[in-house]
Amino acid sequence: MAAGMMPGRAFLHGSSKHTMNAKTLFEKVWEQHQVVPETGDTPAVLYIDLHLIHEVTSPQAFSLLRSKGLKVRRTDRTLATMDHSTPTDPDEVFGRVPIKVESAAQQVKELEKNCREFGVELLGLDSNQRGIVHIIGPELGATQPGKTIVCGDSHTATHGAFGALAFGIGTTEVGQVLATQCLLQRRPKTMAVEVSGTLGNGVTAKDLILAIIGQIGVSGGTGYVIEYRGPAIEALSMDERMTICNMSIEAGARAGMIAPDATTFAYLQGRPKAPQGADWDRAVARWSQLKTDPGARFDHVVHIGADELQPMITYGTHPGMVVPIDGRVPIRAGDEVHAKSLSYMGLTAGEALLGKPIQVVFVGSCTNGRLSDLQLAARVLKGHKVARGVRVLIVPGSQQIKREAEALGLAKIFTDAGAEWRESGCSMCIGMNGDLVDKGQYSVSTSNRNFEGRQGKGARTLLVSPATAAAAAITGRVTDPRDFLNAGKTSTGAVVHS
């Protein structure tokens, strides 16, 4: 591999000089996938290793193929599932009653038809491997270091947690990848987000990424691929790394990456679509090269300290409108956009968020619907009851996670507390599958977007970690999760793995 052929690149002792051959993780993956390099007149032709498909952004792409008489070029590199518009009610999922959202039922049928006609593997409603597309890719071991991965969904950045270059695309591009396994791309700029220190008790990866977005802003990452680095990142589990990379797009960056390491390899080993036997050893040797070389240059570098972070909560209508849980809604006199956002949220500048009554709690989504997220929520909820009048919806990210959560007794903790426990899907993260927050209601949610109407028309979303969501479920108010976690005993990260 190219990285192995760089003579003495890393060992210019004590020198900060950038060596010619020192490359970032992104540059290594990019260069290995250039079919044709970019020129002034034309973008690079970039090869795509894995194309994930779902029901909402693919129908028009299959129609295009059909109209042009084209085939899916590499069905072996294409994997379909259904998650966005699908119901989470078991009776609807398993066909005992019709899917309530009629157009969604139509989309499900259309994807089944398209996959049959074009020979694409589909993990459909009856599959025990189905789930949110960004959760099942890693779960099956299809997501691997150094791959280029695309999907018609902006949270495709999730897969970057494995050192893949993964980004969301539009439906026209879905058609291009189906037909050619390639995309036309200009090389993005690179940004390093260096996270020092250690996350405190009750402070999770979700709080860290919300703090990062708060710092760089919702468009700060536009035009960039972010690499998350530093001791606080290296200490994260794969589930936590996925939470971080998942929300890169909320800072404007199409992709976020974390260098693969022993944690990555341990996660992947033995998964159904991961390499096996001698192939596994060769893969690990290859993947181990996928690190940013010492001396490699980023176009932009951001520093953030993990030690001082608190649990975070959003108060506005984009994920950059975020404060520590004990913070107040910022006062921005004369800022009309800020005022409009607060008006939608029914909040007053200067108001404290702690203690604010809430009506809905949602734990799930491609951001926080993995097993460790559910374990964390269960740890807070265990032995408690959901506050009267609060609706709590807990939705596993995949059918496999559902089975694991049930086997571990988590589902029982949730239902004993009075929460609803569902089949997997995007659910209440996106108001298009029947799981909705009513107008004017406050929803404490582990999802990724607090945009106006995202969880339902007029819904008011407060983005938080699974611990903070579970704490709010118990009290019916915005609550510091550390009130329910044994302070000083062990870090959230350790609990997640226990």
Partner 1 sequence: MQPISRIESRTLVMPSTNIDTDQIIPARFLTTTTKEGLGKQAFADWRYDANGAPKADFVLNQPSSAGCEILVAGRNFGCGSSREHAPWALLDYGFKAVISTEIADIFRSNSLKNGLLPVVVDDTTHRWLLDNPGAKVVIDLQSNRLTLPTGVAVAFPIEAFARFCLLNGTDELGYLLQQEDAIARHESSHV
- Under the rule (CB under 8 A), what is the footprint of partner 1? 32-33, 35-36, 40-43, 45, 47, 49, 56-57, 59-60, 63-64, 68, 84-85, 101, 103-104, 106-107, 110, 152-154, 168-173, 175-176, 179-184, 186, 218-219, 222-223, 249-250, 252, 254, 318, 336-337, 340, 430-432, 449, 451-454, 457
Identify which of residues 47 and 265 has a Cβ nearer to partner 1 in the complex: 47
Identify which of residues 79 and 182 has a Cβ nearer to partner 1 in the complex: 182
Residue 354 CB, nearest distance to partner 1 (Å)? 26
Task: Using alpha carbons only, give the angle 245, 217, 306 rounded to the nearest 5 degrees.
Answer: 60
Residue 76 CB, nearest distance to partner 1 (Å)? 10
* Residues 6 or more apart in contact with residue 148 via CB below 8 angstroms: 29, 33, 46, 47, 48, 49, 50, 164, 165, 166
Residue 235 CB, nearest distance to partner 1 (Å)? 30
Identify which of residues 14 and 41 has a Cβ nearer to partner 1 in the complex: 41
Polymer length in residues for the chain: 498
Can you name the residues that pair with 150 across neighbouring β-strands? 51, 167
For 166, the token pair is: 């993964």
Q: What are phi and psi of 305, to 5 degrees?
A: -100, 130
Residue 67 CB, nearest distance to partner 1 (Å)? 11
CA 486 from chain center: how many Å?
A: 28
β-pair type (420-421, 391-394): parallel
Residue found under tokens 């990424």 = 209
Residue 123 CB, nearest distance to partner 1 (Å)? 20
Identify which of residues 27 and 49 has a Cβ nearer to partner 1 in the complex: 49
Residue 104 CB, nearest distance to partner 1 (Å)? 5
Residue 259 CB, nearest distance to partner 1 (Å)? 21
**CA distance linking residue 238 with residue 205, whole number of Å:** 11
**CA distance linking residue 123 with residue 136, whole number of Å:** 10
Helix/strand/coil percent split, the chain, to 5: 35, 15, 45
**CA distance linking residue 312 with residue 371, whole number of Å:** 21
Residue 251 CB, nearest distance to partner 1 (Å)? 10
SS3 227: strand
Identify which of residues 173 and 239 has a Cβ nearer to partner 1 in the complex: 173
Residue 222 CB, nearest distance to partner 1 (Å)? 6
**CA distance linking residue 232 with residue 239, whole number of Å:** 14
Within 10 angstroms of residue 242's Cβ, the number of other Cβ atoms is 32
Identify which of residues 60 and 415 has a Cβ nearer to partner 1 in the complex: 60
SS3 134: helix
Identify which of residues 425 and 493 has a Cβ nearer to partner 1 in the complex: 425
Direct distance between the N- and C-terminal alpha carbons of the chain, in angstroms, rounded to an integer: 38
Identify which of residues 201 and 317 has a Cβ nearer to partner 1 in the complex: 317
**CA distance linking residue 367 with residue 383, whole number of Å:** 26
Identify which of residues 39 and 498 has a Cβ nearer to partner 1 in the complex: 39
Q: Is the dihedral of CA 310, 312, 315, 316 positive or negative?
A: positive
Residue 452 CB, nearest distance to partner 1 (Å)? 6
Can you name the residues that pair with 131 across neighbouring β-strands? 398
Residue 467 half-sphere exposure toward CB, CA atoms < 13 A = 26
Which uninterrupted H or E stretch holds 224? Answer: strand 224-229
Residue 478 CB, nearest distance to partner 1 (Å)? 23
**CA distance linking residue 188 with residue 136, whole number of Å:** 27
Buried b (16+ CB within 10 A) or exposed e, 169-203: bebebbbbbbbbbbbebebbebbbbbbeeebbbbb
Residue 63 CB, nearest distance to partner 1 (Å)? 8
